[in-house]
């Protein structure tokens, strides 16, 4: 979180109207989040007399975020800034898939199968993955986790698939 990767893409697009796309779109998305929060809190009752209702604070902060988002977007429009950085989809995709797979399988399949599966899926996140290494390290790690979490730390986790239990 310390270093920002600058200049991931070239900024030679001809005659850009938006001077700082990174900030411009960042601000727009924040505004979207704020609007979504305003909508989500719209059914909550507001201030009643001089006491806050449950909806008051969410509305205050969502409106604040809307303003700040607008400010950031406008500054991105007017002030020369960074271009949009390149997204690496491979890592994003496989890491997310591995997490989702873990969430989906931990209950029915148990820790042993689930963590091994996620390990393999996550490994695909880089083109450098090789099968032999992944299986060996994944196996050792799975074994380690199966010993550490339920036994070492006393957490209640199911180890095996539910059919075998």
d(CA 152, CA 165): 21
Q: How many residues bind other proteins (CB under 8 A)?
A: 80
Establish if 50 lies at the interface with other proteins (CB under 8 A): yes
Element (H, E) at 69: helix 56-78
Hey, which residues between 69 and 98 contact other proteins (CB under 8 A)? 69, 71-72, 75, 82, 84-88, 90-92, 95-96, 98
Establish if 131 lies at the interface with other proteins (CB under 8 A): no
Establish if 143 lies at the interface with other proteins (CB under 8 A): no
* Token reading at 82: 């960074």
For other proteins, which residue of 2, 15, 163, 165 counts as binding (CB under 8 A)? 2
d(CA 68, CA 62): 10
Establish if 154 lies at the interface with other proteins (CB under 8 A): yes
For other proteins, which residue of 46, 112, 113, 134 counts as binding (CB under 8 A)? 134
Establish if 29 lies at the interface with other proteins (CB under 8 A): yes
Task: Compute the least distance from the CB of residue 21 to other proteins, in Å.
Answer: 9
C-alpha dihedral sign at 37, 38, 40, 41? positive
At 96, phi and psi to the nearest 5?
A: -65, -45
Helix (H, G, I), strand (E, B) or coil at 56: helix
Nearer to other proteins, 14 or 60 (CB): 60
Contact status, residue 24 vs residue 69, Cβ threshold 8 Å: no
Establish if 125 lies at the interface with other proteins (CB under 8 A): yes
- Terminal Cα distance for the chain, rounded: 43
Element (H, E) at 149: none
For other proteins, which residue of 25, 46, 112, 135 counts as binding (CB under 8 A)? 25
Hey, which residues between 104 and 123 contact other proteins (CB under 8 A)? 104, 106-107, 111, 115, 118-120, 122-123
| DSSP-derived secondary structure letter, 148 | I
For other proteins, which residue of 78, 100, 143, 147 counts as binding (CB under 8 A)? 100
């Amino acid at each position: 979180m310390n270093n920002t990767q600058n200049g991931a893409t070239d900024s030679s697009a001809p005659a850009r109207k938006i001077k700082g796309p990174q900030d411009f779109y960042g601000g727009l998305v924040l505004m979207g989040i704020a609007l979504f929060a305003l909508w989500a809190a719209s059914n909550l009752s507001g201030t009643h007399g001089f006491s806050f209702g449950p909806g008051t604070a969410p509305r205050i902060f969502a409106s604040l975020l809307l303003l700040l988002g607008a400010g950031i977007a406008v500054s991105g429009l007017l002030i020369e800034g960074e271009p949009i950085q390149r997204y690496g989809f491979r890592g994003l995709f496989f890491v997310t898939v591995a997490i989702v797979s873990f969430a989906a399988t931990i209950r029915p399949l148990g820790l042993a199968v689930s963590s091994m599966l996620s390990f393999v899926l996550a490994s695909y996140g880089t083109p450098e993955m090789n099968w032999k290494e992944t299986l060996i390290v994944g196996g050792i790690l799975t074994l380690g986790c199966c010993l550490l979490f339920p036994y070492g730390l006393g957490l209640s986790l199911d180890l095996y698939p539910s059919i075998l239990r």
